[in-house]
Amino acid sequence: MSVMAEVFQGLNTMSLLQLLSAFLACIGYGLVQGGMLGSRGRAIALAALVFGIAGFSVQGSDWVHSVMLGAFAIAGFGVFTATVWLTCRVIGIDRVAIESPAMRTAADTLPAKTGARPDLSSPVASV
């Protein structure tokens, strides 16, 4: 039996806990690479990634094949990310601007300087 046939046989005999560990690893990798989290969130996602791969490998029938599947999953994510990036570059999308209120700074919310002095005599100054 070839190595890939043994790997596919191992995939057919996976338990629910092993599938959940693989899912945890995939989600952790996506959060680490996604840029949606700060440094603390990325560290937690990296821990989830490592814990998921380790749990997946320990629960598998052959740990070498389980580690290979984890590496193939990470490589698959990389290929997917590179494909999306290249597709965006080909069709001319450099950046997608997503603006939320949380992303605005205090300087963005201040009125523009016009050189005129505000009228402080009225109880409510209009902006």
The per-residue pLDDT for 117 is 59
45-94 residue pLDDT tens:
899 988 988 888 888 777 887 888 888 888 898 898 889 889 988 887 76
| 49, HSE (Cβ side, Cα atoms, 13 Å) | 18
Q: Which two tokens stand for residue 20?
A: 């959940």
The per-residue pLDDT for 44 is 92
Instruction: Report the candidate in 47, 19, 42, 22 with the shortest Cα–Cα distance to residue 31.
Output: 42
Q: What is d(CA 56, CA 48) in angstroms, rounded to the nearest whole number?
A: 12
84-115 residue pLDDT tens:
889 988 887 766 555 555 555 555 555 555 55
Q: What is d(CA 15, CA 21) in angstroms, rounded to the nearest whole number?
A: 10
The per-residue pLDDT for 83 is 93
Q: What is d(CA 106, CA 49) in angstroms, rounded to the nearest whole number?
A: 36
Buried b (16+ CB within 10 A) or exposed e, 9-40: ebeeebeeebeebbebbbebbebbeeeeeeee
Break the chain into its structural domains and give their ranges.
Answer: 12-94
**What is the pLDDT averaged over residues 9-24?**
81
The per-residue pLDDT for 123 is 60
